[in-house]
Amino acid sequence: MKLKTIIEKGTLKMCMPYNLTIKSLLISAFLLAGIHSSLQAQEVQYTTPSWWFGAAVGANFNFFEGSTEQLNADFRSPVTFHDGTGIGLYVAPLIEYYKPDTRLGLMLQAGYDSRKGKFAQINTPCNCPADLSTDLSYISFEPSLRFAPFKSSFYLYAGPRFAYNISKSFTYQQGINPAYPEQELIPDVTGDFSEMNELQISGQIGAGVDIPLSSQSNQTQFVISPFVSFQPYFGQSPRSIETWNITTIRAGAALKLGRGREIVTTKKEDLLPVVVIVKEPEVKFTVNSPANNPSELKVKEAFPIRNYVFFDLNSTEIPERYVILNKGQVADFREDNLDSYASGNASGRSKRQMNVYYNILNILGDRMVKNPNANVTLVGSSEKGPADGRIMAESIKTYLVDVFGISSSRITTSGRNKPVIPSEQPGGTLELVMLREGDRRVTIESNSPALLMEFHSGPDAPLKPVELIVVPEAPVDSYVAFEAEGGAEAYKSWTLELKDDNGVIQNFGPYTEEKVSIPTKTILGANPEGDYKVTMTGTTEDGKVYKKEATTHVVLWEPAKTEEAMRFSVIYEFNESNAIKIYEKYLTEIVTPKIPVNGKVIIHGHTDVIGDETYNQTLSLARANDVKGIIEKSLAKAGRSDVKFEVYGEGEKSTPFANKFPEERFYNRTVIIDILPGR
């Protein structure tokens, strides 16, 4: 027995470490399972919902103003009630839609909307206190635009309120005169207000904040949103009689729920650290520096003048965009040097053309001073009638007489409803405002050859064009172009560093677009050419910086040195593809004889922006071909077939001028003719 006991004790001693090991393994397994479950639970995440459903509960703090006395057909209060206050219940289900991290969204609430309240107590003629209360209430529909200015949980909202009346009851109470306490108490009067507006259309503006009640590890997410709104009295008059109105401040909270979508993530199979490799953005950096070989062409251009001065709608004053001189400037004015009398902000040819046009009154005045026998007629056309049109014409006459000293007897004025060639046609329905702006104008008419285009006469003849020798400006394609292809997406901004052979550094930027152009004059200064090392530095949204390098040789652009090219313009009427009759003679007798042997004629047709884009494209090409046909016919009569033509229809895409004012639209109905020397 003793031996057995010893063996059993020994066995017990041997078993104890084994049992502890089993228990440790089991506990470790449970712990690991718990950790794994926790990791798996952490991996399941859901997006913030876009659609939210719930209910809003709040208190309407109602403020009564105005007056009411005739409560219904059966009862009229002996006194008039004015101000009052009250607190009513607001309960409404709601729907909201907004995407996370965006600013705009939509809201809709529809429910019970109480505007109950009690008017301030007043005394009747018997010195008896009188009270009036109401349980006024509505079913309201309130769609709103939701705006989160900081893309955060704070938001503003505003929208209309449509309210349908469901209760219009009142209670009128009159007490007794305190001086006569034994008077019999008058019974309360109850009933419904008469002459009630069944539908109210008003508005509201408010603010709220979304406070999450659950995490993104839950697919169904809850938020509570305290809110406050202001609903002014506009549209909130309860009755169609008297002046009672209600202003409401609403405060409350909305409980909303929505379901997010599962965010798919990669499960962690172990606890090894993850190495993140940051990849440089894919941006291709190039520099294009043109050769800028000196051109041998300058341009002598004839700028046509429209015989119209356009007036702003509802105004009979000369618009400020026209160049107005004072008496002291008249003696130095020259139409072949208008740079000192500039107007407008267009660049290049467009600036020169509009500058010529905006000096039309000064050109006319200067020509009349130099030609004392020249007379003009100013015909004002106004949608308000001939009298208004004549006032417009008189404003121009006053300017010519007062500033240029022209005798008033040489200027005749008249008025009419529509111009001889109107832009707005009977039955028209599209873009009428722009067409009517084009018809509100003063037309300059004359029979004096000294003022008019060569070989033309009569009241409809255009004024003589202004001829300028144009020193070309540096065209955009002569600039150095720097392109960071893909940079707009990859970088928050990028800059340029240009370093020349002498170590002089210039910095440009920052830029956000992918392609920028810099004039060669800006880079080179007084140097005719130079070599540069270019470093482009891009900065990402998170502040990382990347650099790319290139080299380039820059040559200064220089203007032309000889006068060989010529440019002319032909103007068309609205929606017409055939040249104005007088311009046909101009093309035949003025333009065609100036085309040199073996020369090239480049013709560009244009339109304004009125009308369909496809139609305007066809119209512009028809205009260009119309000019080509007239010139070809004239050349054929002279026995010539040596001229080459290039014809383009630009439509409304590349209009020479802006389309803001009627004169710009009139000049966009044009064909531009470039005559180049033979090679």
Confidence of residue 344 (pLDDT cuts 50, 70, 90): low
Pure H helices in 187-293: none
Q: Give pLDDT tens digits for 508-524.
A: 988 888 888 888 888 98
All residues at 6 or more sequence positions from 270 whose CB lies less than 8 Å from its CB, including other chains = none
pLDDT in tens, 569-599: 888 776 565 555 667 888 888 899 989 999 9
**Strands in 344-475 per DSSP E:** 376-381, 411-416, 441-445, 463-470
The residue with tokens 């020994």 is 10
Residue keyed to tokens 């062409």: 297
User: What local confidence, expressed as pLDDT, does residue 602 receive?
Assistant: 93
Q: CA neighbours within 13 Å on the CB side: how many for 594? A: 19
Cβ neighbours of residue 280 closer than 8 Å, sequence gap 6 or more: 546
Q: What is the DSSP letter of 650?
A: -
Instruction: Give the pLDDT band of residue 415 (cuts 50, 70, 90).
Output: very high
Vertex 450, ends 457 and 397: CA angle to 5°? 90
Buried b or exposed e, range 193-202, using 16+ CB within 10 angstroms:
beebbeebeb
Find the DSSP H helices in 556-612: 581-586
Q: Is the pLDDT of residue 6 over 70?
A: no
Is the pTM above the cut of 0.95? no
- The owner of tokens 């209060």 is 77
Helices (H), 293-337: 327-330
Closest Cα partner for 402 from 440, 448, 365?
365
Q: Pull the structure tokens for residue 474.
A: 């540096």
Looking at the DSSP assignment, which residues form a beta bridge with residue 109? 94, 142
Could you give the C-alpha distances from 297 to 318, 472, 473, 561, in angstroms and in order?
Answer: 39, 9, 12, 6
Residue found by looking up tokens 């955060």 in the block: 152
**Cα end-to-end distance, the chain, whole Å:** 133
Burial class (CB in 10 A: 0-12, 13-18, 19+), 385: exposed
Query: Is the predicted pLDDT of residue 14 greater than 60, yes or no?
Result: no
pLDDT of residue 38: 43
pLDDT band at residue 25 under the 50/70/90 scheme: very low
Residue with tokens 């893309």, as numbered in its chain: 151
pLDDT over 60 at 671, yes or no? yes
Helices (H) and strands (E) in the chain, counts: 11, 35
DSSP at 577: -
Structure tokens at 473: 């400006």
Evaluate if residue 95 carries a pLDDT over 80: yes
- 8 A C-beta contact, residue 229 and residue 254: no
> Between the CA of residue 456 and those of 220, 317, 537, 580, what are the distances in Å?
84, 31, 62, 12
Percent with pLDDT over 90 in the chain: 46
pLDDT recorded at residue 581 = 64
d(CA 446, CA 412): 10
**pLDDT beyond 50 at 5:** no
Rounded Cα gap, residues 304 and 586, in angstroms: 11
510 preceded by a cis bond (ω within 30 of 0):
yes
628 φ/ψ angles, rounded to the nearest 5 degrees: -60, -45
Q: What is the pLDDT of residue 341?
A: 61
Q: Taking a C-beta distance cutoff of 8 angstroms, is the pair 190, 168 a contact?
A: no
According to the model, what pLDDT value does residue 112 have? 97
Name which of 595, 598, 563, 603 is nearest 297 in CA terms. Answer: 563
Q: What does the pLDDT look like over 156-211, one tens digit per residue? A: 999 999 999 999 999 999 988 888 888 888 899 999 999 999 999 999 999 999 99
State the chain's mean pLDDT as an integer: 84
Domains and CATH numbers, the chain: 45-263 (2.40.160), 281-297+474-558 (2.60.40.10), 304-462 (3.30.1330.60), 573-676 (3.30.1330.60)
pLDDT digits (tens, 9 = 90+) for 231-285: 999 999 999 999 999 999 999 999 999 998 887 654 544 445 555 555 778 888 8
Widest distance between CA atoms in the chain: 157
pLDDT at 136 over 50: yes
Spell out the residues 6+ positions from residue 503 whose beta carbon is closer than 8 angstroms to its own.
Answer: none
Token couple for 161: 């309120």
For 433, the token pair is: 């405002």
DSSP reduced 3-state for 375: coil
**Among 38-42, 116-120, 444-448, which range has the highest average pLDDT?**
116-120
List the beta bridge partners of residue 467.
302
Q: Which of 48, 39, 324, 432 is nearest to 210 (CA)?
A: 48
- Which residues does residue 300 pair with via DSSP β-bridges, in sequence order? 469, 566
Tell me what pLDDT residue 365 has.
Answer: 93
Range in 108-122, 347-361, 567-581 the model is least confident about: 567-581
SS3 1: coil
